[in-house]
Structure 1
Amino acid sequence: MAFRVSAITLDLDDTLWPFAPIGARVEQVLDDWLRRHCPRTAERYPIPAMRRLREQVFAERPDLAHDFSQLRRLSLVRAMETAGDDPVHATTAFDVFYAERNRVEFYADSEPALARLAARVPVAALSNGNADLAVIGIDHHFAFQLGAREHGAAKPDAGLFHAACGRLGLEPMQVLHVGDDIELDVRGAQRAGLRSCWINREGARWPHPERPDLEFTTLAALADWLDAAHAMETNAA
Protein backbone atom coordinates (compact mmCIF):
# COMPACT_ATOMS: atom_id res chain seq x y z
CA MET A 1 0.00 0.00 0.00
CA ALA A 2 1.34 3.43 -0.96
CA PHE A 3 0.40 6.59 0.94
CA ARG A 4 2.16 9.71 2.15
CA VAL A 5 3.70 9.71 5.63
CA SER A 6 4.46 13.15 7.06
CA ALA A 7 5.56 11.94 10.51
CA ILE A 8 5.83 8.79 12.60
CA THR A 9 4.83 8.10 16.19
CA LEU A 10 6.80 5.15 17.50
CA ASP A 11 6.25 2.73 20.36
CA LEU A 12 9.36 1.74 22.34
CA ASP A 13 9.15 -1.47 24.43
CA ASP A 14 8.97 -4.58 22.23
CA THR A 15 9.28 -2.39 19.14
CA LEU A 16 12.84 -1.07 19.46
CA TRP A 17 13.96 -3.57 22.11
CA PRO A 18 12.49 -6.63 23.86
CA PHE A 19 11.10 -5.81 27.28
CA ALA A 20 11.11 -9.29 28.85
CA PRO A 21 14.88 -9.34 29.53
CA ILE A 22 14.62 -5.89 31.09
CA GLY A 23 11.74 -6.96 33.32
CA ALA A 24 13.69 -9.97 34.58
CA ARG A 25 16.86 -7.95 35.21
CA VAL A 26 15.21 -5.11 37.09
CA GLU A 27 13.60 -7.52 39.54
CA GLN A 28 16.92 -9.21 40.26
CA VAL A 29 18.91 -5.97 40.52
CA LEU A 30 16.32 -4.48 42.87
CA ASP A 31 16.24 -7.64 44.99
CA ASP A 32 20.05 -7.61 45.27
CA TRP A 33 19.97 -3.97 46.38
CA LEU A 34 17.26 -4.62 48.96
CA ARG A 35 19.24 -7.53 50.43
CA ARG A 36 22.16 -5.19 51.04
CA HIS A 37 20.28 -2.10 52.23
CA CYS A 38 16.80 -3.20 53.37
CA PRO A 39 17.22 -6.83 54.43
CA ARG A 40 13.87 -7.06 56.22
CA THR A 41 12.11 -5.98 53.04
CA ALA A 42 14.10 -8.45 50.98
CA GLU A 43 13.29 -11.25 53.40
CA ARG A 44 9.56 -10.52 53.49
CA TYR A 45 9.30 -9.75 49.79
CA PRO A 46 11.47 -12.00 47.66
CA ILE A 47 10.95 -11.50 43.94
CA PRO A 48 7.64 -13.44 43.59
CA ALA A 49 6.15 -11.76 46.68
CA MET A 50 7.33 -8.33 45.53
CA ARG A 51 5.69 -8.99 42.18
CA ARG A 52 2.40 -9.87 43.90
CA LEU A 53 2.58 -6.77 46.07
CA ARG A 54 3.22 -4.62 43.02
CA GLU A 55 0.18 -6.13 41.27
CA GLN A 56 -1.90 -5.46 44.38
CA VAL A 57 -0.84 -1.80 44.47
CA PHE A 58 -1.53 -1.47 40.75
CA ALA A 59 -5.03 -2.89 41.28
CA GLU A 60 -5.68 -0.53 44.19
CA ARG A 61 -4.68 2.55 42.18
CA PRO A 62 -6.40 2.45 38.77
CA ASP A 63 -6.11 6.23 38.77
CA LEU A 64 -2.36 5.75 38.28
CA ALA A 65 -2.59 3.09 35.57
CA HIS A 66 -0.81 5.50 33.21
CA ASP A 67 2.11 6.12 35.60
CA PHE A 68 4.29 3.04 36.06
CA SER A 69 7.00 5.03 37.83
CA GLN A 70 4.71 6.29 40.58
CA LEU A 71 3.15 2.85 41.01
CA ARG A 72 6.60 1.33 41.39
CA ARG A 73 7.52 3.94 44.04
CA LEU A 74 4.31 3.29 45.96
CA SER A 75 5.00 -0.45 45.86
CA LEU A 76 8.47 0.06 47.32
CA VAL A 77 7.15 2.33 50.07
CA ARG A 78 4.45 -0.23 50.93
CA ALA A 79 6.99 -3.07 51.05
CA MET A 80 9.39 -1.18 53.29
CA GLU A 81 6.70 0.03 55.65
CA THR A 82 5.17 -3.40 56.15
CA ALA A 83 8.58 -5.07 56.51
CA GLY A 84 9.84 -2.58 59.08
CA ASP A 85 12.46 -0.79 56.99
CA ASP A 86 12.58 2.99 56.66
CA PRO A 87 10.59 3.96 53.53
CA VAL A 88 13.00 6.82 52.95
CA HIS A 89 15.05 4.18 51.11
CA ALA A 90 12.34 3.88 48.46
CA THR A 91 13.74 6.82 46.49
CA THR A 92 17.17 5.25 46.15
CA ALA A 93 15.66 1.84 45.44
CA PHE A 94 13.61 3.34 42.63
CA ASP A 95 16.72 5.01 41.21
CA VAL A 96 18.46 1.62 41.16
CA PHE A 97 15.47 0.08 39.42
CA TYR A 98 15.20 2.92 36.91
CA ALA A 99 18.86 2.84 35.92
CA GLU A 100 18.51 -0.85 35.07
CA ARG A 101 15.18 -0.27 33.32
CA ASN A 102 16.97 2.04 30.89
CA ARG A 103 19.71 -0.46 30.06
CA VAL A 104 18.20 -1.85 26.89
CA GLU A 105 19.42 -4.27 24.24
CA PHE A 106 18.08 -3.25 20.86
CA TYR A 107 16.76 -5.61 18.25
CA ALA A 108 19.55 -5.96 15.69
CA ASP A 109 17.76 -3.85 13.06
CA SER A 110 16.33 -1.17 15.32
CA GLU A 111 18.99 1.51 15.70
CA PRO A 112 20.01 1.68 12.02
CA ALA A 113 16.36 1.62 10.97
CA LEU A 114 15.45 4.34 13.47
CA ALA A 115 18.19 6.57 12.06
CA ARG A 116 16.86 6.00 8.54
CA LEU A 117 13.28 6.80 9.54
CA ALA A 118 14.30 9.96 11.39
CA ALA A 119 16.25 11.13 8.34
CA ARG A 120 13.04 11.00 6.28
CA VAL A 121 10.32 12.35 8.61
CA PRO A 122 9.94 13.61 12.19
CA VAL A 123 9.68 10.72 14.64
CA ALA A 124 7.98 11.06 18.04
CA ALA A 125 8.16 8.44 20.79
CA LEU A 126 4.71 7.46 22.03
CA SER A 127 4.82 5.01 24.91
CA ASN A 128 2.90 3.76 27.91
CA GLY A 129 6.20 2.84 29.54
CA ASN A 130 8.76 4.92 31.39
CA ALA A 131 11.91 4.57 29.31
CA ASP A 132 14.13 7.66 29.16
CA LEU A 133 15.45 8.21 25.63
CA ALA A 134 18.19 10.58 26.79
CA VAL A 135 19.54 8.02 29.27
CA ILE A 136 19.35 5.30 26.63
CA GLY A 137 21.15 7.60 24.21
CA ILE A 138 18.76 7.81 21.25
CA ASP A 139 16.86 11.02 21.99
CA HIS A 140 18.59 12.79 19.09
CA HIS A 141 16.50 10.70 16.67
CA PHE A 142 13.20 11.99 18.09
CA ALA A 143 11.30 15.23 17.70
CA PHE A 144 9.91 14.62 21.19
CA GLN A 145 8.85 11.91 23.62
CA LEU A 146 5.27 11.77 24.88
CA GLY A 147 4.45 9.23 27.54
CA ALA A 148 1.23 8.14 29.17
CA ARG A 149 2.47 9.58 32.46
CA GLU A 150 2.90 13.08 31.01
CA HIS A 151 -0.38 12.97 29.11
CA GLY A 152 -2.45 11.49 31.93
CA ALA A 153 -3.85 8.56 29.95
CA ALA A 154 -2.35 5.54 28.25
CA LYS A 155 -2.69 3.95 24.82
CA PRO A 156 -5.13 3.02 23.36
CA ASP A 157 -6.72 6.28 24.57
CA ALA A 158 -7.21 8.39 21.45
CA GLY A 159 -6.22 11.53 23.33
CA LEU A 160 -2.61 10.41 23.57
CA PHE A 161 -2.40 9.90 19.80
CA HIS A 162 -4.15 13.21 19.12
CA ALA A 163 -1.84 15.06 21.51
CA ALA A 164 1.17 13.76 19.58
CA CYS A 165 -0.40 14.80 16.27
CA GLY A 166 -1.07 18.25 17.72
CA ARG A 167 2.56 18.67 18.75
CA LEU A 168 3.62 17.57 15.27
CA GLY A 169 1.22 20.10 13.73
CA LEU A 170 -0.39 17.40 11.58
CA GLU A 171 -3.77 15.79 11.06
CA PRO A 172 -4.04 12.18 12.30
CA MET A 173 -4.19 10.72 8.77
CA GLN A 174 -0.82 12.34 8.01
CA VAL A 175 0.83 10.41 10.84
CA LEU A 176 1.85 6.75 10.87
CA HIS A 177 1.88 5.05 14.25
CA VAL A 178 4.29 2.12 14.53
CA GLY A 179 4.20 -0.49 17.28
CA ASP A 180 4.09 -4.13 18.25
CA ASP A 181 0.91 -4.31 20.33
CA ILE A 182 -2.25 -5.16 18.41
CA GLU A 183 -4.70 -3.45 20.77
CA LEU A 184 -2.65 -0.63 22.26
CA ASP A 185 -0.73 0.40 19.16
CA VAL A 186 -2.49 -0.72 16.00
CA ARG A 187 -6.12 -0.70 17.07
CA GLY A 188 -5.55 2.41 19.16
CA ALA A 189 -4.06 4.24 16.20
CA GLN A 190 -6.86 3.08 13.90
CA ARG A 191 -9.55 4.33 16.27
CA ALA A 192 -7.74 7.66 16.63
CA GLY A 193 -7.64 8.14 12.85
CA LEU A 194 -3.92 7.59 12.33
CA ARG A 195 -2.30 5.32 9.79
CA SER A 196 -1.04 2.16 11.46
CA CYS A 197 1.96 -0.13 11.11
CA TRP A 198 2.24 -3.43 12.97
CA ILE A 199 5.76 -4.61 13.75
CA ASN A 200 5.06 -8.33 13.98
CA ARG A 201 8.41 -9.87 14.87
CA GLU A 202 6.88 -13.14 16.09
CA GLY A 203 4.81 -13.91 12.99
CA ALA A 204 1.51 -13.75 14.88
CA ARG A 205 -1.85 -13.89 13.11
CA TRP A 206 -3.88 -10.69 12.84
CA PRO A 207 -7.18 -11.30 14.72
CA HIS A 208 -9.44 -8.48 13.47
CA PRO A 209 -11.31 -7.79 10.21
CA GLU A 210 -9.74 -4.34 9.77
CA ARG A 211 -6.05 -4.85 9.06
CA PRO A 212 -3.26 -2.35 9.74
CA ASP A 213 -2.14 -0.17 6.85
CA LEU A 214 1.28 -1.80 6.99
CA GLU A 215 2.76 -4.92 8.55
CA PHE A 216 6.45 -5.82 8.76
CA THR A 217 8.55 -8.28 10.73
CA THR A 218 11.31 -5.70 11.35
CA LEU A 219 11.69 -1.96 11.66
CA ALA A 220 14.25 -2.17 8.85
CA ALA A 221 11.53 -3.33 6.49
CA LEU A 222 9.49 -0.24 7.36
CA ALA A 223 12.52 1.93 6.62
CA ASP A 224 12.84 0.20 3.24
CA TRP A 225 9.17 0.91 2.54
CA LEU A 226 9.54 4.57 3.49
CA ASP A 227 12.62 4.94 1.27
CA ALA A 228 10.72 3.40 -1.64
CA ALA A 229 7.69 5.63 -1.01
CA HIS A 230 9.94 8.70 -0.94
CA ALA A 231 11.58 7.63 -4.21
CA MET A 232 8.16 7.24 -5.84
CA GLU A 233 7.13 10.74 -4.71
CA THR A 234 10.39 12.18 -6.03
CA ASN A 235 10.00 10.48 -9.40
CA ALA A 236 6.37 11.56 -9.66
CA ALA A 237 7.42 15.15 -9.03
Structure 2
Amino acid sequence: MNYKIISFDIFQTLVDVNERIPEIWRGILKDDYTDEKARQGAKAVLSTLPNVYEQAVQAESFKTMDEVYQECAQKAMDKMDFKISPQDVAYHLMYQHSQAPFYHEVLDCIAKLRPKYQIILSSDSNHLMVDALICKIRYDKAFISDDLKSYKGDKSGKFFRTVLSQLDADPKEIIHIGDSSADILGAHKAGITSCWINRDNRKWSNPIKPDLIIQNFNELIDLL
Protein backbone atom coordinates (compact mmCIF):
# COMPACT_ATOMS: atom_id res chain seq x y z
CA MET A 1 0.00 0.00 0.00
CA ASN A 2 1.77 3.10 -1.26
CA TYR A 3 0.07 5.78 0.79
CA LYS A 4 1.81 9.09 1.26
CA ILE A 5 -0.74 10.78 3.55
CA ILE A 6 -2.59 9.51 6.62
CA SER A 7 -5.69 11.43 7.65
CA PHE A 8 -7.00 11.01 11.18
CA ASP A 9 -10.36 11.83 12.65
CA ILE A 10 -9.89 13.19 16.19
CA PHE A 11 -12.75 12.33 18.56
CA GLN A 12 -13.16 8.65 19.49
CA THR A 13 -10.29 7.97 17.08
CA LEU A 14 -7.36 9.77 18.69
CA VAL A 15 -9.01 10.78 21.96
CA ASP A 16 -11.67 9.29 24.23
CA VAL A 17 -14.38 11.87 24.97
CA ASN A 18 -16.34 9.33 27.01
CA GLU A 19 -13.68 9.61 29.71
CA ARG A 20 -14.80 13.21 30.28
CA ILE A 21 -18.50 12.53 30.88
CA PRO A 22 -18.33 13.10 34.66
CA GLU A 23 -16.41 16.37 34.20
CA ILE A 24 -18.80 17.51 31.46
CA TRP A 25 -21.76 17.17 33.80
CA ARG A 26 -20.02 18.53 36.88
CA GLY A 27 -19.41 21.70 34.88
CA ILE A 28 -23.02 21.80 33.71
CA LEU A 29 -24.87 20.77 36.90
CA LYS A 30 -22.46 22.29 39.45
CA ASP A 31 -23.96 21.86 42.97
CA ASP A 32 -26.81 19.74 41.58
CA TYR A 33 -24.40 17.12 40.23
CA THR A 34 -25.02 13.46 40.95
CA ASP A 35 -23.73 10.42 39.07
CA GLU A 36 -27.31 9.53 38.15
CA LYS A 37 -28.04 13.00 36.73
CA ALA A 38 -24.77 12.83 34.77
CA ARG A 39 -25.81 9.45 33.37
CA GLN A 40 -29.25 10.79 32.41
CA GLY A 41 -27.81 13.90 30.81
CA ALA A 42 -25.21 11.97 28.82
CA LYS A 43 -27.86 9.52 27.60
CA ALA A 44 -30.17 12.36 26.53
CA VAL A 45 -27.42 14.13 24.60
CA LEU A 46 -26.03 10.99 22.98
CA SER A 47 -29.52 9.93 21.85
CA THR A 48 -30.13 13.36 20.31
CA LEU A 49 -26.81 14.25 18.70
CA PRO A 50 -26.85 11.77 15.76
CA ASN A 51 -30.18 13.09 14.44
CA VAL A 52 -29.23 16.74 14.93
CA TYR A 53 -25.89 16.16 13.19
CA GLU A 54 -27.49 14.24 10.33
CA GLN A 55 -30.03 17.03 9.78
CA ALA A 56 -27.17 19.54 9.71
CA VAL A 57 -25.29 17.40 7.17
CA GLN A 58 -28.35 17.19 4.93
CA ALA A 59 -29.23 20.89 5.23
CA GLU A 60 -28.54 23.33 2.42
CA SER A 61 -26.90 25.87 4.75
CA PHE A 62 -23.94 25.01 6.99
CA LYS A 63 -24.33 25.04 10.78
CA THR A 64 -21.35 25.63 13.03
CA MET A 65 -20.52 23.11 15.74
CA ASP A 66 -21.75 25.64 18.31
CA GLU A 67 -25.12 25.78 16.53
CA VAL A 68 -25.27 21.98 16.25
CA TYR A 69 -24.46 21.46 19.92
CA GLN A 70 -26.89 24.15 21.08
CA GLU A 71 -29.70 22.53 19.08
CA CYS A 72 -28.72 19.13 20.45
CA ALA A 73 -28.61 20.52 23.98
CA GLN A 74 -32.03 22.13 23.59
CA LYS A 75 -33.59 18.86 22.46
CA ALA A 76 -31.84 16.92 25.22
CA MET A 77 -32.78 19.40 27.96
CA ASP A 78 -36.41 19.31 26.82
CA LYS A 79 -36.36 15.68 27.99
CA MET A 80 -34.76 16.45 31.33
CA ASP A 81 -35.81 18.29 34.46
CA PHE A 82 -32.56 20.32 34.47
CA LYS A 83 -32.62 24.09 34.83
CA ILE A 84 -29.72 24.74 32.47
CA SER A 85 -29.45 26.84 29.34
CA PRO A 86 -28.65 25.07 26.05
CA GLN A 87 -25.80 27.57 25.63
CA ASP A 88 -24.15 26.39 28.87
CA VAL A 89 -24.62 22.74 27.97
CA ALA A 90 -23.19 23.26 24.48
CA TYR A 91 -20.17 25.17 25.78
CA HIS A 92 -19.27 22.52 28.35
CA LEU A 93 -19.74 19.72 25.83
CA MET A 94 -17.39 21.42 23.37
CA TYR A 95 -14.84 22.53 25.95
CA GLN A 96 -14.57 19.09 27.52
CA HIS A 97 -13.86 17.59 24.10
CA SER A 98 -10.64 19.61 24.23
CA GLN A 99 -9.73 18.03 27.57
CA ALA A 100 -10.24 14.42 26.51
CA PRO A 101 -7.30 12.01 26.92
CA PHE A 102 -5.53 10.37 24.00
CA TYR A 103 -5.98 6.63 23.72
CA HIS A 104 -2.88 5.06 25.22
CA GLU A 105 -1.26 3.89 21.97
CA VAL A 106 -2.00 6.95 19.82
CA LEU A 107 0.90 9.34 20.34
CA ASP A 108 3.54 6.62 20.11
CA CYS A 109 2.03 5.26 16.90
CA ILE A 110 1.82 8.69 15.26
CA ALA A 111 5.46 9.30 16.18
CA LYS A 112 6.37 6.04 14.41
CA LEU A 113 4.33 6.92 11.31
CA ARG A 114 5.44 10.52 10.93
CA PRO A 115 8.90 9.90 9.39
CA LYS A 116 7.29 8.04 6.48
CA TYR A 117 3.90 9.71 6.03
CA GLN A 118 2.39 13.17 5.91
CA ILE A 119 -0.01 13.39 8.88
CA ILE A 120 -3.23 15.39 8.60
CA LEU A 121 -6.21 15.79 10.91
CA SER A 122 -9.78 15.83 9.56
CA SER A 123 -12.47 16.69 12.08
CA ASP A 124 -16.08 17.79 12.31
CA SER A 125 -15.41 20.29 15.09
CA ASN A 126 -14.38 23.84 15.95
CA HIS A 127 -11.25 25.35 17.46
CA LEU A 128 -12.62 25.36 21.02
CA MET A 129 -12.87 21.58 20.71
CA VAL A 130 -9.53 20.82 19.06
CA ASP A 131 -6.87 23.46 19.64
CA ALA A 132 -5.78 22.25 23.09
CA LEU A 133 -5.45 18.73 21.69
CA ILE A 134 -3.76 19.14 18.34
CA CYS A 135 -0.92 21.19 19.82
CA LYS A 136 0.18 17.90 21.42
CA ILE A 137 0.56 16.15 18.06
CA ARG A 138 3.13 16.68 15.33
CA TYR A 139 1.01 16.99 12.21
CA ASP A 140 1.23 18.73 8.84
CA LYS A 141 -2.23 20.22 8.38
CA ALA A 142 -5.59 20.24 10.16
CA PHE A 143 -8.92 20.41 8.34
CA ILE A 144 -11.72 21.59 10.64
CA SER A 145 -15.36 21.64 9.57
CA ASP A 146 -16.04 25.11 11.00
CA ASP A 147 -13.16 26.46 8.88
CA LEU A 148 -14.19 24.62 5.70
CA LYS A 149 -17.93 25.26 6.23
CA SER A 150 -18.60 21.63 5.43
CA TYR A 151 -18.75 18.26 7.17
CA LYS A 152 -16.97 15.03 6.34
CA GLY A 153 -20.29 13.38 5.53
CA ASP A 154 -21.62 16.17 3.29
CA LYS A 155 -23.72 15.10 0.32
CA SER A 156 -21.57 17.31 -1.89
CA GLY A 157 -18.29 15.75 -0.73
CA LYS A 158 -16.87 19.25 -0.26
CA PHE A 159 -14.85 18.44 2.88
CA PHE A 160 -12.61 15.77 1.39
CA ARG A 161 -12.47 17.48 -2.00
CA THR A 162 -11.02 20.48 -0.17
CA VAL A 163 -8.50 18.20 1.54
CA LEU A 164 -7.39 16.81 -1.82
CA SER A 165 -7.23 20.26 -3.40
CA GLN A 166 -5.22 21.89 -0.62
CA LEU A 167 -2.78 18.99 -0.46
CA ASP A 168 -2.62 18.72 -4.27
CA ALA A 169 -2.95 14.98 -3.73
CA ASP A 170 -4.33 12.01 -5.63
CA PRO A 171 -7.07 10.18 -3.67
CA LYS A 172 -5.08 6.95 -3.94
CA GLU A 173 -2.28 8.54 -1.93
CA ILE A 174 -4.45 9.02 1.17
CA ILE A 175 -5.90 6.72 3.80
CA HIS A 176 -8.42 8.20 6.24
CA ILE A 177 -8.97 6.62 9.66
CA GLY A 178 -12.11 7.39 11.66
CA ASP A 179 -14.72 5.86 13.95
CA SER A 180 -17.97 7.09 12.33
CA SER A 181 -20.01 6.48 9.22
CA ALA A 182 -19.32 10.10 8.18
CA ASP A 183 -15.60 9.25 8.07
CA ILE A 184 -16.10 6.16 5.96
CA LEU A 185 -18.77 7.50 3.60
CA GLY A 186 -17.04 10.85 3.13
CA ALA A 187 -13.73 9.21 2.27
CA HIS A 188 -15.45 6.72 -0.03
CA LYS A 189 -17.20 9.53 -1.91
CA ALA A 190 -13.84 11.19 -2.58
CA GLY A 191 -12.14 7.97 -3.68
CA ILE A 192 -9.97 7.92 -0.54
CA THR A 193 -9.21 4.61 1.18
CA SER A 194 -11.31 4.40 4.33
CA CYS A 195 -10.27 2.67 7.54
CA TRP A 196 -12.82 2.18 10.32
CA ILE A 197 -11.39 2.11 13.82
CA ASN A 198 -13.83 -0.01 15.78
CA ARG A 199 -12.56 -0.02 19.35
CA ASP A 200 -15.85 -1.30 20.84
CA ASN A 201 -16.71 -4.22 18.55
CA ARG A 202 -19.69 -2.43 17.04
CA LYS A 203 -21.55 -3.74 14.00
CA TRP A 204 -21.27 -1.87 10.72
CA SER A 205 -24.76 -1.17 9.35
CA ASN A 206 -24.26 0.89 6.17
CA PRO A 207 -24.28 -0.80 2.73
CA ILE A 208 -21.08 1.07 1.86
CA LYS A 209 -18.44 -0.72 3.86
CA PRO A 210 -15.05 0.54 5.04
CA ASP A 211 -12.08 -0.62 2.98
CA LEU A 212 -10.18 -1.60 6.12
CA ILE A 213 -11.06 -2.21 9.78
CA ILE A 214 -8.80 -1.97 12.82
CA GLN A 215 -9.42 -2.02 16.58
CA ASN A 216 -6.45 0.11 17.64
CA PHE A 217 -3.50 2.00 16.22
CA ASN A 218 -1.06 -0.85 16.79
CA GLU A 219 -3.00 -2.73 14.13
CA LEU A 220 -2.63 0.29 11.85
CA ILE A 221 1.16 0.11 12.14
CA ASP A 222 1.06 -3.55 11.12
CA LEU A 223 -1.42 -2.84 8.32
CA LEU A 224 0.69 -0.12 6.72
The structural deviation recorded for 1:210 is: 5.1
Q: Is the 8 A contact 1:66 1:128 kept in 2?
A: no
Structure 2, gaps ≥5 residues long: 33-39, 78-84
Q: What's the TM-score, normalizing by structure 1?
A: 0.67
1:108 matched to which residue of 2?
104
1:171 aligns with 2:181: no
Q: Structure 1: how far apart are the matches of 2:63 and 2:221? A: 30
Maintained 8 Å contact 1:165/1:171: yes
1:27 Cα deviation from its structure 2 partner: 3.2
Residue 51 of structure 1 deviates from its aligned partner by: 5.5
- Specify the code of the residue in structure 1 equivalent to 2:159: L
Which residue of structure 2 lines up, in the alignment, with residue 123 of structure 1? Answer: 119
Task: Give how far 1:220 is off.
Answer: 1.8
CA change 1:145–1:66 in 2 (3 A) is: farther
For residues 1-237 of structure 1, the aligned pairs below 5 Å read 3-32=1-30, 62=56, 66-72=63-69, 98-130=94-126, 132-136=129-133, 138=135, 140-157=137-154, 158-181=157-180, 183-208=181-206, 211-226=209-224
Is there any run of 5+ residues in structure 1 with no aligned partner, and where?
A: 36-45, 80-86, 227-237
Greater Rg over alpha carbons, structure? 1
Q: How far does residue 65 in structure 1 lie from its aligned partner after superposition?
A: 6.1
Instruction: Please give the root-mean-square deviation of Cα atoms over the aligned residues, in Å.
Output: 3.9
CA–CA separation in structure 2 for the residues paired with 1:127 and 1:201: 18
Aligned to 1:43: none
**Cα distance in 1 for residues equivalent to 2:196 and 2:162:** 21
For the 8 Å contact 2:2–2:173, the answer to whether it is kept is yes
**Structure-1 separation of matches of 2:73 and 2:199:** 34
Residue identity opposite 1:161 in structure 2:
F
Separation in structure 2 between the aligned mates of residue 125 and residue 178 of structure 1, nearest angstrom: 10
Over residues 2-30 of structure 1, what are the superposed CA-to-partner deviations in whole Å (9 max), with x where a residue is unaligned? Answer: x2111011111111122233355323313
Alignment TM-score, normalising by the size of structure 2 = 0.70
> Matched residue pairs, number?
204
| Partner SS state of residue 152, structure 2 | coil
% identical aligned pairs: 19
| Residue deviations 1:109-140 (CA, integer Å, cap 9, x gap) | 11211222223211111111336444125454
CA contact (8 A) 1:29 1:97 kept: no
Mapped contact 2:6–2:117 kept (Cα < 8 A): yes
